[in-house]
Amino acid sequence: MLLIEDDEDARGAIEGQLSEWGVVCAGGINVEEAMGSWAVSRVPVDRIIADFRLPGTLNGTDVIREVRQLLGYNPAALLITGEIDKAFILSVLPPDTELLQKPFNAVALKDALRSRI
């Protein structure tokens, strides 16, 4: 799994939960860092988790599209966000992407990930 989340605490919490479930995860604060982590670990990317609000000019939907292009295939994705305009977020979701509203707990994360397994 590939995780792009700029909040270090949130990223650590998600990585920790995934690890408890036996999921190998590479991640970072942006595409470059996450792909660099992936290049070192070479974990299979069967899913992308991306936060919507990221530093710089790219948001989570842009990041999902860019990662898919770099990988050369389209793994399922999960966009996580604290945005309150859910209709807007749903209107910009890339194909094969689920939405998970923040704050969420481990059960909600597991359910969102299972929905595409």
The predicted structure's pLDDT at residue 13: 95
Residue (of 26, 38, 7) closest to 103 by Cα position? 7
Mean pLDDT estimate for the chain: 91
Residues 6+ apart with CB under 8 A from 20: none
Could you report how far apart the first and last alpha carbons of the chain are, in Å? 12
Q: Tell me how crowded residue 13 is: count the other CB atoms within 10 A of its CB.
A: 14
What class does CATH assign to 2-114? alpha beta
Residue-wise pLDDT tens digits, 105-114: 999 999 998 8
pTM of the model: 0.91
The predicted structure's pLDDT at residue 117: 43
Q: What is the dihedral of CA 6, 92, 45, 81, to 10 degrees?
A: 40
